[in-house]
Amino acid sequence: MQTGQSAEVQLEARDLTIGYPNRVICGPINLQLAPGAGLGIIGANGSGKSTLIRTILGHLIPVEGTVEFQSLPVNESSEHFRRTVAVQVTDGAFFEELTVREHLEMVARGHGLDDWVQLVQAELDFFEITAADDHLPGELSSGQRRKLLLAAALIRPAELLILDEPEQRLDLRIRQKLYQRLAGVRAKGTTLLAVTHDPLMLRSCVDQVLLLDEDEGELLDPQAGAQWLER
């Protein structure tokens, strides 16, 4: 399958079988995402959605097949990959001594953004966590922690944005704001890959949906994907 605005390939998975050495979860999957493409990944619990994300990120070795980012094998420790791929995967990745504002500042400065003061404030305002800007991660609610992770993924420039169930613990208003923003991010050429259980997200900001329901993935349009989630 190929999705996106042009024929150029941002992310490509060829005959990708995912799982663990003794247990195949899903595959083979063939995938081509062009710049600006938006792919939602859906499926039942345990169908391999997060495993697929972790394999694409290079955290897991594919059982078979290959994953390439911008025509190069994925190397998550390289500077190029870290500068161009923004990720929000788990809940617990924080520096426990840094405040909310300092987390965002570190990410912005790490990516060499000169106007980081304004950008940090904009993210705090967007996710409505300005009042908690001097809180430590341990003092945040689970929803605020999720907002901080999303803000950290969105404050930085990225060519590929990978999100794992970004809708979790967010209220409907923030979700709508987030989806609008993700659509805008895509319009600027960033490829979006998101695992979700939210039909609204599929209808708002992706143009294709990968359903991991059977052994192999099935490609659906967003409407059909949303209906599958609502069934």
Partner 1 sequence: MIRRQGRSGLSASRVASHAVDFNPREVVNRAKKRRNFSEKFDSFSDAYVWVLAALVALAYLFSALFGMLFVLLGEGVAHQVLPSAVWRLQDLSFVLLALAGLATFRLMLYLGPCGLSAAKADWWLPLPVKLRAIRQPTWRNALLIGLFASSFAGALWLIVMLGLAGSLPVPVAVHGLACFAVAGVGLANAATAIQGKNQQIAARGICGWVGLGLLIALAVLWMLLMFQIPWAQSLVGAMAAATLDPAAWMLALLVVLVLSGASTYGAFRHFDQIPGQALRFAGEHQQFAVGTLMQGDSRGLSAPATSAISRRRARGGKLTAKLPVAWRILCLRLLRGGRWHSVAGFLLLAFALAATVQRIANPLSAAAFYLVLCLVLTLSISATIAPLVSERQLTQLLGISEQRLMRAATLYAMLFSATALLFLTGGLGMLGMIQLDRIWLWIAAGLVAALGCAAASSAHASREERDWDALLGGATSESAVATYLFLETATFLRAAATFSPIFFLVLSPGTPIPLLLWIAAMLFGASALVQVSGRKLGAGA
Cα distances (Å, whole numbers) of residue 167 to 180, 195, 196: 13, 10, 7
Q: Does 20 bind partner 1 (CB under 8 A)?
A: no
Q: Is 59 in the site for partner 1 (CB under 8 A)?
A: yes
- Closer residue to partner 1 in complex, CB, 84/176: 84
Two tokens, residue 231: 């069934």
Residue 28 contacts residue 64 (beta carbons within 8 Å) = yes
The side-by-side arrangement of strands in the sheet containing 208-212 is 85-88, 160-164, 191-195, 38-43, 208-212, 218-220
Distance CA 132, CA 152 (A): 15
Does residue 146 belong to the site contacting partner 1 (CB under 8 A)?
no
Q: Is 71 in the site for partner 1 (CB under 8 A)?
A: no
The count of chain residues that interact with partner 1, using the rule CB under 8 A, is 33
Q: What are phi and psi of 220, to 5 degrees?
A: -125, 165
Measured from the CB atom, the residue of 165 and 222 that comes closer to partner 1 is 165
Tokens of 72: 């190069």
Which of 156/208 has CB closer to partner 1? 156
Asked whether the beta carbons of 48 and 18 are under 8 A apart, the reply is yes
Contact region with partner 1 (CB under 8 A), list: 73-81, 119-127, 185-193, 217-225: 73-81
Rounded to whole angstroms, the Cα distance separating 116 from 136 reads: 20
The answer to whether 110 contacts partner 1 (rule: CB under 8 A) is: yes
- CA neighbor of 200 nearest in space, from 169, 222, 168, 185: 222
For residue 20, what are the β-bridge partners?
Answer: 23
Nearer to partner 1 by C-beta: 102 or 218? Answer: 102
| Nearest distance in Å: CB 111, partner 1 | 4
Binding letters toward partner 1, positions 80-109, x by CB under 8 A: --xx-xxx-xx--xxxxxxx--x---xx-x
Selected range binding partner 1 among 3-11, 72-80, 166-174, 200-208, rule: CB under 8 A: 72-80
State the residues that interact with partner 1 by CB under 8 A: 57, 59, 76-79, 82-83, 85-87, 89-90, 93-99, 102, 106-107, 109-111, 134, 136, 138-139, 152-153, 156
